């Protein structure tokens, strides 16, 4: 068995990353793609490698010879690499394919080392490595029959999103027997080149071949193995995350600040959403108007206020709509001055954005990370501005309505600006839920500013929506001066417009979260080595005790590396003093059970 790597291309889409070297010399996780591929070949017992080279050929050859990879390496030159495609590179290596069974690999791949060994040992003489279609994939797809034989190749011109449930993506790793190559594939390859020229793809030949000889090429379907095809800088970043070294993997994921749909195997217990909302009917309604919303400008700020007014049932003059609550927090941070008092630990945006304020922190750890209303009332005597996140993020601590009203009254008496972030309040138990977003309350208490994140509680973080409510017209005026008139898109605007039609579904979704939170807290509390804190949000804060066999950093790494579960390690957050605290988002029951089982395995609990 031998291997052929097609490495002649210029990798134009990689930009600066391939200015002076080929794609296979790019580094992922401190090792080049070529190093990783050769390691996989050697593990599979392959001793000879044919490199088809062209762009930066001598640089690549010098690199290979310097590395002394410990296997026989032959070179085939594609001098026309700038004007040809991979069909011609493969054609140039045809004589090698006739002499031995071949593993064919493209040079821009990164994959788990065991895949090649599995393909070599598979009984089928001719295999294409494929993976079930996921949203990040593009390029050639295949359709399989029940025996995992390839029935058709689907190129970009024939791709239909309606059929993606039947598609598998070609990973661009193949196994061809020398008989198959000599008697069947190479004759087709030569004929195709004569008919269509050298600027084509070798998979187009396989497409024709699959129609004529359906059972000749089988599929090796990747299930749990990792792989990625690196076509551009974004792909390189993702590959560097998936294949990061242990000490770097968590940092790589965290630096994305979301976007975890690009990692389909990953379950995100870090970022906070509502898995039970929006309902399917609402999603269908948004899809129906997709083209119109995509191609039309959104309305300006004043119209968005009308939509939010309908959604929350208050006067539009008291509302501002933001591109997520983060935009509103950032703009408010430019306006507010004087002393700002806030309980820590807290949501970092409030710590980061209020640059014109003298920040005074209230240590909630002294009260078991719960709110102490007497301490808050005392703080009002000494501050200009008070911030309360209710329920608190990350602790889930909750200030009931009666206690909140005491703080509101005191701030009113002392003319202290009270900022209340109630982004998670809809997840509280039914008998505890309330909102400060109502006309009577806002009109009476001009010092009150309420912020709500629609992204989190309404399950649409991709739309980036949040609202601020206050009857303080001075703050309104200053906010509007600092905000763009078109700050949200048409999809977000339409969502605001139709949300009122689904109020009952929203309440039921919040009830489901509350039930799942209760069940999840009880399950985690039964695991040895972990302590659970009370929560009224869609997340649970926990602390690892002395009985835990791992610290918070070790647990976070084990969960993401072994179980593909991403959690929030709070130990480095201000207010925790390096103590082993964690936060788990509440997801649907299936996902929550997966996390709980993983915690039991790692912590050795019941």
Q: What is the CATH number of the domain that holds 13?
A: 3.90.550.10
- Beta carbons of 513 and 427 less than 8 angstroms apart: yes
Same structural domain, 15 and 70:
yes
Give pTM, 2 decimals.
Answer: 0.88
Q: Is residue 117 part of a domain?
A: yes
Between 220 and 139, the higher pLDDT residue: 220
Check if the beta carbon of residue 6 is closer than 8 Å to that of residue 84: no
How many whole angstroms separate alpha carbon 179 and alpha carbon 381?
A: 88
DSSP state at residue 394: T
Q: What is the pLDDT of residue 101?
A: 97
Does some domain include residue 281?
no
Q: Give the tens place of pLDDT for each residue, 567-577.
A: 999 998 888 98
d(Cα 334, Cα 341) in Å, to the nearest integer? 16
What is the CATH number for 464? 3.40.640.10
Domain membership flag for residue 527: yes
pLDDT at 247: 79
Provide the 8-state DSSP code for 324: S
pLDDT tens column, 307-339: 999 999 999 999 999 999 999 999 999 999 999
Render pLDDT for 302-315 as a digit per residue (tens, 0 to 9). Answer: 899 999 999 999 99
Q: Which domain holds residue 150?
A: 2-230
Q: Could you write out the DSSP letters of every residue in 412-448?
A: HHHT-EEEEE-TTGGGS-TTT---S-SHHHHHH-TTE
How is residue 184 written in tokens? 């069947």
Question: Given 501, 517, 546, which residue is the final one in a domain?
Answer: 501
Domain count, the chain: 3
| Mean pLDDT in residue range 411-438 | 97
111 and 95, same domain (yes or no): yes
464 and 574 part of one domain: no
- Together in a domain, 44 and 149: yes
Are residues 66 and 111 located together in one domain of the fold? yes
Cα–Cα distance for residue pair 171/30, rounded to 1 Å: 23
> In terms of domains, do 497 and 514 share one?
no
Q: What percent of the chain is predicted at pLDDT more than 70?
A: 99
Please answer whether residues 220 and 111 qualify as being in contact, where contact means their C-beta atoms are separated by less than 8 angstroms. Answer: no
- Distance of alpha carbon 263 from alpha carbon 242, whole angstroms: 8
Picking from 540, 503, 500, the residue whose alpha carbon sits closest to that of residue 518 is: 540
B/e letters for 268-286, b = 16+ CB within 10 Å, e = fewer, are: bbbbbbbbbbbbeebeebb
Model pLDDT for residues 205-247, shown as the tens digit of each residue: 888 877 776 557 899 999 889 999 999 999 999 999 999 988 7
Q: What is the mean pLDDT of the chain?
A: 94
**Residue where one domain finishes, among candidates 230, 254, 289:** 230
Residue range 94-111, pLDDT digits in tens = 999 999 999 999 999 999
- What's the pLDDT band for 490 if we cut at 50, 70, 90? very high
Asked, for residue 548, whether it belongs to a domain, the answer is: yes
Task: Please count the other Cβ atoms lying within 10 Å of the Cβ belonging to residue 525.
Answer: 12
Token digits for 455? 């992204």
What's the CA angle centered on 442, arms 441 and 448, to 5 degrees? 110
Handedness of CA 210, 212, 214, 218 (dihedral sign): negative
Tell me the backbone φ, ψ of residue 42, rounded to 5 degrees: -65, -40
The answer to whether residue 288 sits within a structural domain is: no
Residues 208 and 262 in one domain: no
Checking if the pLDDT of 556 tops 50, the result is yes
Average pLDDT over residues 519-547: 97
CATH code for position 540: 3.90.1150.10
Instruction: Give me the sign of the Cα torsion angle 115, 116, 117, 123.
Output: positive
Residue 515 pLDDT > 90: yes
**Does residue 334 form part of some domain?**
yes
Of residues 73 and 201, more confidence is placed in: 73
Confidence category of residue 187, pLDDT binned at 50, 70, 90: very high
Query: Does the pLDDT at position 606 exceed 50?
Result: no
Tens-digit pLDDT profile for residues 433-486: 999 999 999 999 999 999 999 988 999 999 999 999 999 999 999 999 999 989
Give the residue from 218, 233, 28, 265 showing the smallest Cα distance to 123. Answer: 218
Residues sharing a CB contact under 8 Å with residue 489, sequence separation 6 or more, in sequence order: 298, 463
d(CA 417, CA 403): 17
Asked if 536 and 405 sit in the same domain, the reply is no
Q: Which of 478, 501, 524 delimits the end of a domain? A: 501
pLDDT score of 200 more than 90: no
Co-location of 491 and 549 in the same domain:
no
> What is the per-residue pLDDT for 245?
85
pLDDT confidence of residue 129: 97
């066999």: which residue's tokens? 549
Note whether 598 and 449 are same-domain residues: no
Whether residue 517 is found in the same domain as residue 417 = no
Six token digits for residue 437: 């977003």
Q: Over 60: is that where the pLDDT of 373 sits?
A: yes
Task: Please tell me the predicted confidence (pLDDT) of residue 605.
Answer: 53
Assess if residue 294 is contained within a domain: no
Residue 581, beta-bridge partner list: 543
d(CA 530, CA 546): 9
Q: 287 lies in a domain?
A: no
Task: Look at residue 201 in the predicted model and tell me its pLDDT.
Answer: 87
* Shared domain check, 432 and 310: yes
Tell whether the model's pLDDT for residue 199 goes beyond 90: no
CB 388 within 8 A of CB 424: no
Buried-exposed string 539-558: b where 16+ CB fall within 10 A, e elsewhere: bbbbbbeeebebebeebbbb
């Amino acid at each position: 068995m031998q291997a052929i790597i097609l490495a002649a291309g210029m990798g134009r889409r990689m930009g600066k990353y391939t200015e002076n070297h080929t794609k296979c010399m790019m580094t992922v996780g401190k090792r080049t793609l070529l190093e990783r591929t050769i390691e996989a070949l050697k593990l599979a017992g392959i001793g000879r490698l044919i490199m088809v080279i062209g762009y930066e050929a001598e640089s690549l050859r010098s690199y290979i010879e310097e590395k002394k990879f410990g296997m026989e390496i032959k070179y085939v030159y594609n001098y026309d690499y700038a004007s040809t495609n991979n069909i011609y590179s493969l054609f140039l290596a045809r004589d090698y394919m006739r002499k031995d069974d071949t593993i064919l690999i493209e040079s821009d791949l990164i994959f788990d080392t065991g895949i090649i060994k599995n393909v070599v040992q598979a009984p089928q003489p001719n295999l294409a490595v494929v993976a079930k279609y996921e949203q990040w994939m593009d390029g050639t797809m295949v359709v399989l029959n029940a025996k995992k034989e390839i029935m058709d190749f689907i190129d970009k011109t024939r791709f239909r999103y309606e059929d993606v449930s039947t598609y598998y993506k070609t990973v661009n790793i193949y196994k061809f027997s020398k008989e198959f190559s000599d008697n069947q594939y190479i004759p087709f390859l030569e004929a195709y080149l004569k008919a269509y020229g050298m600027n084509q793809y070798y998979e187009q030949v396989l497409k024709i071949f699959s129609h004529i000889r359906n059972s000749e090429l089988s599929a090796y379907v990747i299930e749990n193995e990792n792989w990625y095809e690196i076509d551009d800088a974004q792909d390189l970043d993702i590959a560097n995350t998936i294949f990061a070294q242990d000490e770097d993997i968590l940092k790589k994921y965290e630096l994305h600040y979301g976007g975890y749909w690009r990692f389909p195997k990953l379950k995100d217990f870090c970022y906070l959403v509502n898995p039970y909302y929006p309902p399917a009917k609402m999603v269908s309604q948004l899809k129906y108007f997709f083209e119109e919303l995509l191609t039309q400008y959104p309305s300006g700020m004043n119209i968005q206020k009308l939509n939010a007014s309908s959604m929350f049932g208050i006067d539009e003059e008291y509302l501002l709509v933001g591109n997520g609550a983060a935009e509103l927090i950032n703009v408010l941070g430019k306006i507010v001055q004087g002393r700002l008092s806030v309980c820590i630990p807290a949501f970092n945006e409030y710590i980061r954005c209020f640059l014109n304020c003298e920040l005074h922190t209230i240590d909630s750890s002294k009260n078991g990370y719960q709110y102490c209303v007497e301490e808050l009332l005392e703080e009002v005597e000494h501050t200009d501005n008070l911030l309360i996140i209710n329920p608190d993020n990350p602790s889930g601590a909750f200030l009931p309505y009666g206690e909140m009203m005491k703080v509101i009254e005191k701030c009113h008496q002392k003319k202290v600006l009270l900022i209340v972030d109630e982004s998670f309040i809809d997840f509280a138990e039914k008998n505890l839920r309330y909102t400060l977003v109502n006309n009577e309350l806002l009109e009476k208490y001009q010092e009150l500013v309420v912020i709500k994140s629609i992204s989190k509680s309404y399950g649409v973080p991709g739309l980036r929506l949040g609202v601020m409510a206050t009857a303080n017209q001075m703050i309104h005026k200053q906010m509007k001066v600092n905000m763009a008139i078109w700050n949200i898109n048409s999809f977000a605007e339409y969502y605001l417009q139709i949300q009122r039609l689904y109020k009952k579904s929203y309440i039921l979704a919040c009830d489901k979260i509350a039930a799942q939170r209760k069940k999840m807290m009880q399950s985690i509390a039964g695991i040895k080595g972990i302590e659970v804190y009370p929560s009224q949000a869609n997340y649970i804060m926990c602390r690892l005790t002395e009985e835990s066999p791992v610290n918070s950093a070790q647990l976070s790494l084990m969960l993401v590396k072994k179980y593909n579960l991403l959690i929030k390690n709070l130990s480095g957050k201000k207010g925790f003093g390096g103590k082993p605290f964690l936060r788990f988002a509440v997801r649907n029951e299936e996902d929550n059970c997966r996390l709980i089982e993983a915690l039991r395995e790692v912590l050795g609990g019941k």
